[in-house]
Structure 1
Amino acid sequence: MTQTAWVLSLTQFYLGLGFMLFFLALELGLSWVLLVLRIRARHEAAPLLAYRFWVRIYALTLIIGFAASLPLLFQLGTLWPDFMDRAGEVAGPLLGMAVLTAFIFKSCFLGAMLYGQRSLSENAHTVVVGLVAIGTSLTAWWVIVLLAWLQHPVGAVLTEDHYQVVDWLKLLGGAAPPLFGVLLSGGLLLAATLMLSLTAQRTRTRPSDAGDRTVLIGGTWLLLGAVVLQVVLAAWLGRMLLPVQPARTAAVLPQWTTGPVERVSVFAWLDVAGGRTVWALEGPDLLSNWLTQPQEAVVASGAHRDASPQAGAAKAGPGAQVAPADAAPAAAGASEVQGLNDLIGMRPPVWFTYASSRLAVLLTAVVGLMGLWALWRGYRLGFEADSFRARTRTGFQALVWVALLLQAVGWMHVLVGSLPYAVYGTVTLREIGSVQDEFGLWLVTGLQVVIYGALGLGFRQLLGHTMRYGVVPVARHRGRA
């Protein structure tokens, strides 16, 4: 596989994966928002108005997210044909459970949720909405377990270039809980910003009602809570992944030579070709220690000790020299970090990994400050959307895009920071990639950008139509809404 073909294959896969993760996160966040609204609607009228509007948005998100997930299954076989041969015993059951959950558990109750509100009792319909939220969460969980295992392969043994599961409980643990938490908190953040933006915009052409006020209050507090939750969970995920991924740690610091931990920089200008930092604004020592500790705990947890001796000779391609995966933490020790200059050929894109970590922190701070601003404006105006000025509505619109950019940067840091590995420390993407014509890859990549762009634009247009004209009742002639 040539370098151009490798980059194009990776671009195709990450485009599809990123598009699917966005709608999966939004679907996950909205499902739990709808459950809360449905529970409150049993005693209040305003949450029921909000529920009837947002359940249509959820259905639209679910349809596009489901459609976006299908190409990934084909890309897994066409772009990375040897992946299932290497890790099929792990990936096969997880993907099968995700499909089974999506088709059976969640979809069985989706129809009753969308069309059975008047046919079911209040309690029964609330239970159905809860089951849809649980089904959505389980579908996301199986996908995240696979992504987390690729980042931190535990619970399986690499024997003769094939992974075999030895402990499913350990495999379902690892980095999966914090990574799922990041997806859930990101979905809640996207749902909250969308709630604030759409509510502020739809009151341009129609008077606000009690449901709008409920959404504004709930969305504002949900936004602030989601920001705090995502900060905590992202810190937990970083605490788990950075010690077992020395290349990512060195790029985040950044550190070029193996040795004692250097002070992390707040911002720096890197000379990647020369293997040095030209200029840096250093941060506190406490942050450097947090990024690299505890190494002993990582070794004790068996991060790479499940791998057989064959896994130690991780293959990066012809002529590449790679240290054993399980030797990295032990060699570096608790107070040392492997340098980027000693990881040439097995390190991620340094500039992107370094900059994305800083940009994610900056965007998180911006979203948090904008959330506080939204709370202040809301209380000042009594959460009456009719009282919002044009700049306030514009601010809510901008908040959606900032939150979306934050999720994109965070997930790209997680995915790109683990390159060139497919299964970190053992299997590289070049090993499992297919030999394809570059012209075909360019063509498919271009078509993929056009199709995903059209889907994204269509989603935005449908949101605008729903926002402007409201919700069209379902089965009006039968008296159902």
Structure 2
Amino acid sequence: MFASVDPVILARIQFAANITFHILFPTISISLAWVLLFFKLRYNKTGDESWMDAYRVWVKIFALTFALGVVSGITMSFQFGTNWPGYMETVGNIAGPLLAYEVLTAFFLEATFLGIMLFGMRRVSNRMHTIATLLVAGGTTLSAFWILALNSWMQTPAGFEMIDGRAHVTSWIEVIFNPSFPYRLVHMLLASGLTVAFLVAGISAYRWLRNDRSREVLHSMRTGVVLAAILIPLQIVAGDLHGLNTLHHQPAKIAAMEGIWKTEKGAPAVLFGLPNATTQSNDFEIAIPKLASIYLTHKVDGEIKGIDAFADRHPPVAPLFFAFRIMVGVGLLMLAASWVAAWQFRKRGAPAPWMARLLVAMTFSGWVALVAGWYVTEIGRQPYLVYGVLTTAQAASKVPATMIGSTLAMYLTLYAVLIVAYISVVFHLARKAGKSKDDSSQSVIPGQLRSAQ
């Protein structure tokens, strides 16, 4: 069945499947750790036990998420040796140390103090437990720092020289703080925050709709809504700056994202279209004249390079074109939902039933936007694995297509089962939390909604 398929294409699909599954969980654990710290600090300041109740619920979800992130990360790392040996052979002097730094400085920190977070509430002092939460939160962010340093270097390589076909570091500062790293790190951390904001708001709204009207649920839901309302405007600004950086360093990626086939001044913003690689145009195009040049170059007649400027050294247009629009579309929906929900909290102390249902529907919307954005980043680097240095074809192994195809089918089946299981367990924990407390002593009656804020 797979014998006639290009092994490189299958290897790319397999790695995409692995990274897609893996990235879902660190994205949550990075920011959820900081939300847990916020819950703990609020409890320390106010003495309100409902904040600690929120901590107890969400630390379980954090532990589940962390475990799946670790397991999927190990599986993904095998790909370097099985499908992409040319990657480590060529740039291992850079990738190897960065991955090692992540394990030594971040993963060990998270794994060690997570035990105290989970099992030390009654075994260590409250102060020590708070410090453990802080260290885990710091560890998750430090982990993102190192991983994104490597990924950004692959997008905009710097601080190295090639000797006998291998990359050797000339400046670790330039390697780590490469041209796209600050933009990519901020963009990713904000994406993580938004993913967690809607997860917390959605699960809390689910419990609210099931008549769990405790102060803990209200605190959690309001935290998620307010966090989303604050972060989404920042993400729009960060995304614009990241786009300008990408235009400078990876113009082919921008051309594919925008669906611009011909180099032109005053390029339009294509709202909708069906990219046609055969005709080098967009079928059924709906566009706003000159708008792309305005937001990409900040000039009405700014020149934007089209796909025609890059010969065969450009990524596939259709995947980037649609993934970019999915990311932006979900982002705009997040903006509208979070601001309306925040307004309802301000006016009436709780969301309207229809808004609570919308928040439940958007529980995992951050995943959708995140994966779409990640596809834009990674597919947009093609045909390179390390931009301008190493192509995907050069790094691929000689493993037969049938072998890659069989393991790909196994991965996809396993991941589908695990995703369903993860979501089911998260909602199960939400239902269990609602049943485990005495609602008569914890419920918030309508007249108390204002004071609960």
Which consecutive residues of structure 1, in runs of 5 or more, have no partner in the other structure?
Answer: 295-333, 474-481
1:394 aligned partner, one-letter code: R
Q: Is the 8 A contact 1:151 1:241 kept in 2?
A: no
2:381 counterpart of 1:418 = yes
* Whole-Å separation in 2 of the counterparts to 1:204 and 1:180: 36
Q: CA deviation at 1:362?
A: 1.8
2:37 counterpart of 1:35 = yes
* Whole-Å separation in 1 of the counterparts to 2:303 and 2:211: 62
Which consecutive residues of structure 2, in runs of 5 or more, have no partner in the other structure?
Answer: 437-453
Q: Kindly tell me: are residues 179 and 336 of structure 1, through their superposed partners in 2, closer, same or farther at Cα, counting changes over 3 Å?
A: same
Structure 1 equivalent of residue 76 of structure 2: 72
* Whole-Å separation in 1 of the counterparts to 2:140 and 2:269: 39
1:132 aligned partner, one-letter code: V
Taking the TM superposition and a 5 Å limit, the aligned residue runs for 1:36-75 are 36-44=38-46, 45=48, 46-75=50-79
Structure 2 equivalent of residue 343 of structure 1: 310
2:346 counterpart of 1:382 = no
Structure 2 equivalent of residue 126 of structure 1: 130
Taking the TM superposition and a 5 Å limit, the aligned residue runs for 1:279-298 are 280-283=285-288, 285=290, 287-292=292-297
Q: Is the 8 A contact 2:266 2:302 kept in 1?
A: yes
In percent, how many aligned pairs have the same letter? 27
2:228 counterpart of 1:265 = no
Compute the TM-score of the two structures, normalised by the length of structure 1.
0.83
**What's the CA shift string for 1:418-469, capped at 9, x where partnerless?**
1111001121000010122222222111111111111111111211221111
Compute the TM-score of the two structures, normalised by the length of structure 2.
0.88
**Farther off after superposition, 7-16 or 394-403:** 394-403
Classify the secondary structure of the residue corresponding to 1:347.
Answer: coil
2:99 aligned partner, one-letter code: L
Structure 2 equivalent of residue 316 of structure 1: none
**What's the CA shift string for 1:11-69, capped at 9, x where partnerless?**
11111112211111100010111111111110221321211111111111101111110
* Whole-Å separation in 2 of the counterparts to 1:131 and 1:2: 50
Classify the secondary structure of the residue corresponding to 2:6.
Answer: helix
* Whole-Å separation in 2 of the counterparts to 1:227 and 1:291: 20
2:76 aligned partner, one-letter code: L
Q: CA deviation at 1:134?
A: 0.6
Q: Is the 8 A contact 2:275 2:283 kept in 1?
A: yes
**What's the CA shift string for 1:251-289, capped at 9, x where partnerless?**
234333446463333333433112234554333536415
**What's the CA shift string for 1:294-331, capped at 9, x where partnerless?**
9xxxxxxxxxxxxxxxxxxxxxxxxxxxxxxxxxxxxx
* Whole-Å separation in 1 of the counterparts to 2:154 and 2:4: 23
* Whole-Å separation in 1 of the counterparts to 2:260 and 2:224: 41
Aligned residues between the structures: 430
1:50 aligned partner, one-letter code: A
Taking the TM superposition and a 5 Å limit, the aligned residue runs for 1:215-234 are 215-234=220-239
Taking the TM superposition and a 5 Å limit, the aligned residue runs for 1:251-400 are 251-258=256-263, 260=265, 262-278=267-283, 280-283=285-288, 285=290, 287-292=292-297, 336-383=303-350, 389=353, 391-400=354-363
2:199 counterpart of 1:194 = yes
* Whole-Å separation in 2 of the counterparts to 1:342 and 1:163: 28
Q: CA deviation at 1:94?
A: 0.7
Q: Kindly tell me: are residues 192 and 224 of structure 1, through their superposed partners in 2, closer, same or farther at Cα, counting changes over 3 Å?
A: same
Classify the secondary structure of the residue corresponding to 1:348.
Answer: coil
Q: Is the 8 A contact 1:261 1:288 kept in 2?
A: yes
RMSD (Å), alpha carbons: 2.5
Q: Kindly tell me: are residues 31 and 446 of structure 1, through their superposed partners in 2, closer, same or farther at Cα, counting changes over 3 Å?
A: same
Q: CA deviation at 1:189?
A: 1.0
Given candidates 232, 243, 248, the residue that maps to 1:243 is: 248
2:426 counterpart of 1:459 = no
**Farther off after superposition, 78-87 or 397-406:** 397-406
Structure 1 equivalent of residue 446 of structure 2: none
**What's the CA shift string for 1:339-368, capped at 9, x where partnerless?**
323434321111122222223222211111
Given candidates 136, 142, 157, the residue that maps to 1:138 is: 142
Structure 1 equivalent of residue 93 of structure 2: 89
Q: CA deviation at 1:208?
A: 2.1
2:180 aligned partner, one-letter code: A
2:31 aligned partner, one-letter code: G
Q: Is the 8 A contact 2:201 2:223 kept in 1?
A: no
Q: Kindly tell me: are residues 5 and 214 of structure 1, through their superposed partners in 2, closer, same or farther at Cα, counting changes over 3 Å?
A: same
**Farther off after superposition, 341-350 or 49-58:** 341-350
Q: CA deviation at 1:245?
A: 1.1
Q: CA deviation at 1:131?
A: 0.7
* Whole-Å separation in 2 of the counterparts to 1:160 and 1:259: 40
1:243 aligned partner, one-letter code: H
* Whole-Å separation in 2 of the counterparts to 1:56 and 1:471: 14
* Whole-Å separation in 2 of the counterparts to 1:62 and 1:397: 23
Q: Is the 8 A contact 2:84 2:395 kept in 1?
A: yes
* Whole-Å separation in 1 of the counterparts to 2:199 and 2:341: 13
Classify the secondary structure of the residue corresponding to 1:125.
Answer: helix
Q: Kindly tell me: are residues 472 and 176 of structure 1, through their superposed partners in 2, closer, same or farther at Cα, counting changes over 3 Å?
A: farther
Taking the TM superposition and a 5 Å limit, the aligned residue runs for 1:94-173 are 94-173=98-177
1:410 aligned partner, one-letter code: G
